[in-house]
């Protein structure tokens, strides 16, 4: 069920209450409770098949929960950045075509002069100026990621959702992306991203929610990422090392047992 929240400053943007969702008789999400506050930069952390993408899809409304509710602030606009692995890179589309297609408030092909100004402003902000007429496949991995962020930003979203934005990218690009997300948050946008990269991404975020079919814990990163929570989330024993002000999560060498979530999430097979 989708409901609207009052548009009050102290109300969250999204409140998910007791959400459950199953697919082909398999429970993917169960009693999920999560709030997304305005101005947050939240990481959804969990193993593969834990239901991270599915949870994002219930927020965008492409999946309907079987039980529970997703309450959203009235008029909330959402920008969605898919996993790069799901993109059809042979599709004939230039950078500007790719970014503009999402602005469906206008249906025609050709952009208005204000749209052109908006487009060039966003491309410049994301360091993509001069690439507008290039095919999306000709870009570097970091540029490709930013094209899809630009596409989401063109809709001026209140909430930006990114699905595994750092999967398969190198260290420099990961830093660049985290820096960009921090900038966007500073400009007033709320951001939720999924990641299974604990050290590269999660520990750099101000807040995380650990998920494995349901939310194990949500809150400030240093409070949530404890050995106990991580073991419950990943089903593996982990330790946290502190070194020169950095927190490093490492697997314990002792025997681990399988997590209760698994890789056989049937919804993941539905990606294009």
Q: Using CB under 8 A as the criterion, which residues of the chain lie in contact with other proteins when the complex forms?
A: 57, 60-62, 78-80, 82, 86-88, 90-94, 97-98, 100-104, 106-109, 133, 135, 137-138, 155, 161, 269-272
The Cα 57–Cα 18 span in angstroms is 16
In the complex with other proteins, which residue's Cβ is closer, 29 or 84?
Answer: 84
Tokens found for residue 21? 């969702």
> Where are the extended beta strands (E) located within the chain?
2-5, 14-23, 26-36, 41-45, 67-73, 78-81, 159-162, 190-195, 207-212, 214-220, 238-243, 246-251
In the complex with other proteins, which residue's Cβ is closer, 38 or 87?
Answer: 87
CB of 99 to other proteins, least distance (A): 11
In the complex with other proteins, which residue's Cβ is closer, 88 or 252?
Answer: 88
In the complex with other proteins, which residue's Cβ is closer, 245 or 269?
Answer: 269
Whose structure tokens read 């540029």?
Answer: 143
In the complex with other proteins, which residue's Cβ is closer, 243 or 272?
Answer: 272
CB of 157 to other proteins, least distance (A): 9
The Cα 54–Cα 35 span in angstroms is 16
The Cα 105–Cα 166 span in angstroms is 30
CB of 80 to other proteins, least distance (A): 4
The Cα 262–Cα 46 span in angstroms is 11
CB of 244 to other proteins, least distance (A): 40
CB of 53 to other proteins, least distance (A): 10
């Amino acid at each position: 069920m989708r409901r609207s929240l009052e548009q009050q400053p102290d109300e969250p943007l999204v409140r998910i209450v007791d959400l459950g969702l199953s697919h082909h008789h398999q429970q993917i999400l169960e009693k999920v409770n999560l709030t997304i506050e305005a101005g947050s930069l939240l990481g959804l952390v969990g193993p593969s098949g834990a239901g991270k993408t599915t949870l994002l899809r219930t927020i965008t409304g492409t999946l309907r929960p079987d039980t529970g509710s997703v309450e959203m602030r009235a008029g909330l606009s959402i920008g969605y950045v898919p996993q790069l692995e799901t993109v059809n890179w042979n599709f004939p589309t230039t950078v500007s075509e790719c970014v503009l297609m999402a602005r469906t408030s206008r249906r025609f092909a050709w952009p208005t002069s204000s749209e052109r100004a908006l487009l060039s402003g966003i491309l410049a902000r994301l360091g993509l100026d001069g690439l507008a007429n290039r095919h999306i496949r000709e870009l570097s991995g970091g540029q490709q990621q930013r094209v899809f962020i630009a596409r989401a930003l063109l809709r001026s979203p209140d909430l930006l959702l990114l699905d595994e934005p750092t999967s398969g990218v190198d260290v420099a690009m990961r830093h660049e992306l985290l820096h960009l997300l921090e900038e966007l948050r500073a400009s007033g946008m709320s951001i939720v991203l999924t990641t299974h990269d604990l050290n590269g991404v999660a520990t750099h975020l101000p807040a995380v929610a650990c998920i494995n079919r349901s939310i194990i814990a949500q809150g400030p990163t240093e409070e949530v990422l404890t050995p106990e929570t991580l073991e419950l989330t990943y089903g593996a024993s982990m330790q946290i090392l502190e070194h020169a002000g950095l927190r490093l999560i490492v697997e314990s060498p002792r025997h681990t047992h399988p997590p209760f979530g698994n890789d056989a999430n049937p919804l993941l097979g539905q990606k294009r």
